[in-house]
Amino acid sequence: MEKERSPFSFEHWVIFVFDHPLPAPGAPNWYHDPDEDSEWWDPSDSPETTVAHLTVVFENAPSVLAPCSDAQVRQGLWFLVSNSCSDHMFALLNPSVPWSDRKRCISSMFTLFERFFAPRCSSQLSHLDEAGANPLNGICYMWWDILPIYGKPEELDRREVDAACLEVMRLTLDLDSDACRESALHGLGHWHLYYPTQVESSVWTESICAGRTKRASPVSTGLRSPFTSSPLLDPAALHYPHQRS
């Protein structure tokens, strides 16, 4: 069944992304279910609005996503970040969207790590498959792995995007969260191929950190080579990127 496309308000879009039950064991997620009859948001139809919606969620996740379980948030964020589920992240590469808006959105990923993942993820390390992890640990760990943005130092028009992504990972290394630091090391492990000097500088000066995350070393992470009952916030209180005073 072809999914119906529709323009969404911010509140409608949040419900579209996050307000879904978890699949039964062996069943597909809602976004891969051919019988799912939800209206469909196509990020390419309005990339500037897509970037704005993403920014608001990343900057305000604790309040905007309060009605969701951690497992629902994990499902929704995976849908947003992975291009096997949706094309939301490609809006960050769309030159029709002002760079200032795209940069703010990329930078807001650090806010998501700092204010949402850090307090809610558990201390289990994903690269060791430690049992008992919070459902959010998986998307936190895989963020930079499934994000379809990769370093392209040879392309002049991509260097600002790359620098913004690397800065988020660098800042995340300083968070007092095993899960967040592990995510940053995982991402930097992938980006080492494109920016070895910058990555090694970030890792060796800032990420050989105290505590258990020493186990999430550069080598081990690959561096070597129910909204219906809970009203959403008034968007006016969320400092929406495209609101002008």
Q: Output the tens digit of pLDDT for each of the chain's 245 residues.
A: 444 455 678 999 999 999 888 888 888 877 777 666 667 778 888 999 999 999 999 999 999 999 999 999 999 999 999 999 999 999 999 999 999 999 999 999 999 999 999 999 999 888 888 888 999 999 999 999 999 999 999 999 899 999 999 999 999 999 999 999 999 999 999 999 999 999 988 876 654 444 444 444 444 444 433 333 333 344 344 444 444 33
pLDDT of the residue at 92: 98
Q: Is residue 2 a part of any domain in this protein?
A: no
Instruction: Supply the pLDDT for residue 36.
Output: 64
Dig out the tokens for 6 from the structure.
Answer: 């529709």
Segments forming the whole domain that contains residue 22: 10-224
Query: Contact at 8 Å (CB) between 101 and 162?
Result: no
Residue 235 lies in a domain: no
Q: Is residue 240 part of a domain?
A: no
Q: Would residue 23 count as lying in a domain?
A: yes
Q: For residue 114, which amino acid is it?
A: E
- Predicted TM-score of the model (pTM): 0.83
Overall number of domains in the chain: 1
The residue whose two tokens read 């494109």 is 194
What pLDDT is stored for residue 229 in this prediction? 38
- Tell which residue, 1, 103, 83, 99, has the closest CA to residue 43: 83
What pLDDT score does 32 carry? Answer: 79
Nearest to 20 by CA among 88, 87, 89, 68: 68
What's the gap between Cα 7 and its chain centre? 22
The enclosing H or E element of 201 equals helix 196-202
Q: Does 203 map to a domain? A: yes
